[in-house]
Copies of this chain bind each other. A is one copy, B any other.
C-alpha cells in the first residue's frame, strides 16, 4: 500500500498556468480561431499534462494486461477461458489486433501476465512459433502474476484485499519500468475472458446505475447467456456488497487483476506527468477506480473511444471524459487506445509545426462591420 500511497502523493494538478499561453499560440496560427476543434484541445491538454510547451509524443507505449476471471464458471462469456492464454501467445507472436494497430501507429506493445489462469509455456510451443525452448518466461512477456485468475465473484470476493493492492503495485512497476526506457504517452489495454462481467459490476457499484443499464454482450453472448450474465453480476454485488467509497474494496470484491494493474498504470503515469489514453470498457473500469482513489488523474486521461459496451458511456460521463473516436469498437487489447493516440498526436503536430499569421504574411480576421456592404 505504501507504493500506491507514494505514487498518489506525487500526482499534482496539471499545469493550468500554461493554458492561456498555449491558446494564444494556437490562435496565432494560420487558421480561423478554434477551427481545428478538438485537435487544439488535445494539444493544450498535452502541454498542461507534461508541463512542456513543446511536447512530443514520439515514444508511444500500450500496456496490455492479461488475466483470468473465476466468474467464467457461471457461463457469462462466449469464449472459453483458455482463450486468454492463447491470446497472450498471439500478442507475443504479433498477430493480434493490438499488434497490427500498434505497428501502424508506431507504439510498442507491453504484454503483461498479471493473472492468467495457467502457467504460460515459456517455449510458446504449439503455436507455430519456433523460438528456442527454455525455462525462463518469454523475454517479450512481462510476468507479474498475482494469482491463477480471480475467484468466482458470484460466490465470494474475486480476490483478497492484499491481492488487489499487489495488482495495482504491479501496474505501477510495469509503468515505471517502461518509463525508464522512454515513454511519452501510454495506452491501456486488456485481455481477459470474463472481464466485461467484472467491469459492469465495478461500474454498477461506483455509479449506482442498474446492472441492466451497464451490461453488454461482451465478446458476443447469446440471449440466454446475456440474461445469465446480468443475474450473475447482480448476485456478485449482493453477496459481496462492495463499498463504493472504497475503490480497493470494489476492486477486490468484483474486479480483476488486469483492472488493478491498469489502475496502477494510470496512477503511475499521472505521477510522472505522462498522458494516458484509455481504451474501452475494461480500461474505463480501471479508470473509474483510479479516479475514486485520486480525482486528479482525470485531467491526465483521454478516452480514446466509446465502446459498444453500454456501461462504457456511463463510466466516461461519470468521470467527465469525452471520447476521441466512436467507431463501434469492442475488442479491447488497447486497440482503440493506439488509434486515439494518432489523433491526439496530430493536435500536438499542429501546435508545433503550423505557420503563424505573421510568419506567413496572412491577413487576420477583419471586423466585418467595417466592410463596405451593399444595400
Seen from chain A, the residues whose Cβ lies within 8 Å of a Cβ on chain B are 29-39, 73-75, 77-80, 82-83, 86-87, 89-90, 93, 95-97, 99-101, 103-104, 126-128, 154, 218-222, 224-225, 228, 308, 324-331, 335, 339, 342-343, 345-346, 349-350, 353-355, 359-369, 371-374
The answer on a CB contact under 8 Å between B38 and A328 is yes
A29 to B104, CA, bound (A): 17
Residue of B90, B97, B339 touching A343 (CB-CB under 8 A): B339
The answer on a CB contact under 8 Å between A86 and B360 is yes
The answer on a CB contact under 8 Å between B35 and A369 is no
The answer on a CB contact under 8 Å between B95 and A30 is yes
CB neighbours of A350 from chain B (8 A): 97, 100-101
The answer on a CB contact under 8 Å between A89 and B32 is no
Residue among A33, A78, A89, A218 with max Cβ neighbours from chain B (10 Å): A78
Secondary structure of the A contact surface, majority rule: loop
Q: Nearest Cβ in chain B — how far from A62, in angstroms?
A: 14
The answer on a CB contact under 8 Å between B38 and A327 is yes
CB neighbours of A360 from chain B (8 A): 86, 89-90, 93, 95-96, 127-128
CB neighbours of A224 from chain B (8 A): 368-369
Contact A329 B366, CB 8 Å, known A96-B354, A360-B89, A361-B86: no
Q: Nearest Cβ in chain B — how far from A39, in angstroms?
A: 6
CB neighbours of A366 from chain B (8 A): 78-80
Q: In the complex this chain forms, how many copies of it are found? A: 2
CB neighbours of A365 from chain B (8 A): 78-79, 219-220
CB neighbours of A127 from chain B (8 A): 360-361
Contact A373 B228, CB 8 Å, known A75-B368, A128-B359, A325-B343: yes
The answer on a CB contact under 8 Å between A79 and B32 is yes
The answer on a CB contact under 8 Å between A222 and B75 is no
A-B contact pairs, 23 of them (CB 8 A): A31-B96, A31-B97, A32-B78, A33-B220, A34-B220, A35-B330, A36-B329, A38-B328, A75-B373, A79-B363, A79-B365, A89-B360, A89-B361, A95-B354, A95-B360, A96-B354, A101-B349, A101-B350, A127-B360, A222-B368, A222-B369, A325-B325, A339-B346
Q: Nearest Cβ in chain B — how far from A346, in angstroms?
A: 6
The answer on a CB contact under 8 Å between B95 and A359 is yes
The answer on a CB contact under 8 Å between A349 and B222 is no
CB neighbours of A328 from chain B (8 A): 37-38
A366 to B101, CA, bound (A): 27
The answer on a CB contact under 8 Å between B31 and A331 is yes
Contact A37 B89, CB 8 Å, known A78-B365, A363-B79, A363-B83: no
A219 to B73, CA, bound (A): 58
Q: Nearest Cβ in chain B — how far from A372, in angstroms?
A: 8
Contact A100 B39, CB 8 Å, known A95-B360, A339-B346: no
The answer on a CB contact under 8 Å between A331 and B89 is no
A222 to B32, CA, bound (A): 13
